[in-house]
Amino acid sequence: MGDEAITRLARAAYRLSAADSRLRGRATRNAEALSLAHARALKSLAEHGPMTVNQLAGHVETTGAAVTQLVNGLAGAGYVTRERAASGDRRTAIVALTDAGRRRHEEREQVLAAGLRELTQDLDERAIDAAGVVLDRLATLYDRL
C-alpha cells in the first residue's frame, strides 16, 4: 500500500474519531442520544444479563470509573437499575436493564443495522469483511498509541 492510501486511511480514521466525539457530545446534552459506550453497555446487559459494574467494565472495555459514569447516565435516563449485591457488600452494585433500556437497545440495534445495510449496499461481502478487519486492526492500533 502506498503512502497516499495510508494518508487516506488515516484521514478516515480521524473523521471516525471526530464523529465519535460529536456523538459523545450529543449524548451528554440529550438523554435520547446514546454514545457508543452507552450503546455497548446496553448491548452487554441485553446479551449477558445483570452484572456488577466491574463485569460491565470488562464487557464495555473500559475502566470501572468510566462505567460508573455510564451507569449513572443510563440510570438517570431510566435504562438501567443499580442495586446492592446480595452478598451485602456495599461497594458492589448489580446493574440491570429496565424494560425501557431493553427497548432502547433494540431500537438502537435496528437503526444501526439499517444504517450499515444502507452504507454497504454497493459493497460485496468480501469488501464488508475487509472493512471489519481494518476496523479491528485500527482498534488494536489505538490501544497501542
Q: In what order do the strands lie in the sheet with 80-84?
A: 51-52, 93-97, 80-84
| Whole-number pLDDT of residue 92 | 81
Q: What is the pLDDT of residue 110?
A: 94
**Phi, psi (degrees; rounded to nearest 5) at 38:** -60, -45
User: How far, in Å, CA of 75 to CA of 104, rounded?
Assistant: 13
Q: What is the pLDDT of residues 103-129, one digit of tens each?
A: 999 999 999 999 999 999 999 999 999
| Count of beta carbons in the 10 Å neighbourhood of residue 8 | 12
How is residue 94 annotated by DSSP? E
Per-residue confidence (pLDDT) for residue 39, from 0 to 100: 92
Q: How far apart are CA 70 and CA 43, in angstroms?
A: 13
| Residue 87, pLDDT score | 66
The pLDDT of residue 31: 65
Q: What is the pLDDT, as a whole number, of residue 1? A: 67
Residue with cell 473523521: 15
Q: Which helix (H) or strand (E) holds 84?
A: strand 80-84
pTM, 2 dp: 0.81
Residue ranges for the chain with pLDDT beneath 50: none
